[in-house]
């Protein structure tokens, strides 16, 4: 998010407009798993709804412009790069976002929510794919059974990403 909206104060303000759009898209394309008071939230996309159709994206551009302003170009570059690095020949559940309230981080809340999503994917016979630009999350995901499948950098000084896959046993 800091690449997408570099200024911290602006990022805080704009993410309040951005995340309702993402949540609505992900709920339409998959599901959310969360704790009762939303101390942890994970957003998942199903295998048949991994990408937002061009017609819907075009219709949503005004809302994204209001949410992101001049940062929209970086957001689109980031989204395109992420999509380009997803598996093309594999049906999977996509862990799109995972977030834990800072007061609850390091207490197992994130792992619990992700394991619930893994169980849901296992029941559907699907692997789970994710990408992260946070190096400290790589170990967490590995401890949950994810394996690194690739790494890449976003052009123009963007972040480094790790792609990871979990397969149901």
50-65 pLDDT tens trace: 777 667 777 888 999 9
Cβ(151)–Cβ(141) below 8 Å:
no
* pLDDT for res 54: 66
CATH of the domain at 58: 3.40.630.30
User: For residue 3, is it within any domain?
Assistant: no
User: For residue 32, is it within any domain?
Assistant: yes
24-53 pLDDT tens trace: 989 988 999 999 999 999 999 999 887 776
User: For residue 99, is it within any domain?
Assistant: yes
Q: By percentage, how much of the chain surpasses pLDDT 90? A: 76
Q: By percentage, how much of the chain surpasses pLDDT 70? A: 99
Q: Could you give the number of structural domains in the chain?
A: 1
User: For residue 144, is it within any domain?
Assistant: yes
Closest CA to 15 of 80, 97, 131: 97
Domain range enclosing 116: 8-166
User: For residue 147, is it within any domain?
Assistant: yes
């Amino acid at each position: 998010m800091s690449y997408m909206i570099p200024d911290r104060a602006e990022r805080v303000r704009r993410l309040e407009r951005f995340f309702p759009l993402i949540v609505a898209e992900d709920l339409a394309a998959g599901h959310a798993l969360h704790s009762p008071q939303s101390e942890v939230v994970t957003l998942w996309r199903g295998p048949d709804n991994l990408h937002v159709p061009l017609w819907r994206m075009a219709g949503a551009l005004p809302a994204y412009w209001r949410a992101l302003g001049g940062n929209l170009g970086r957001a689109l570059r980031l989204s395109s790069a992420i999509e380009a690095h997803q598996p093309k020949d594999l049906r999977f559940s996509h862990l799109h976002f995972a977030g834990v309230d800072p007061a609850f981080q390091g207490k197992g809340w994130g792992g619990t929510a992700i394991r619930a999503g893994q169980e849901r994917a296992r029941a559907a016979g699907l692997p789970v794919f994710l990408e992260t630009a946070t190096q400290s999350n790589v170990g967490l995901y590995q401890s949950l059974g994810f394996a690194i499948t690739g790494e890449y950098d976003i052009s123009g000084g963007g972040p480094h990403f790790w792609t990871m896959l979990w397969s149901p046993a």
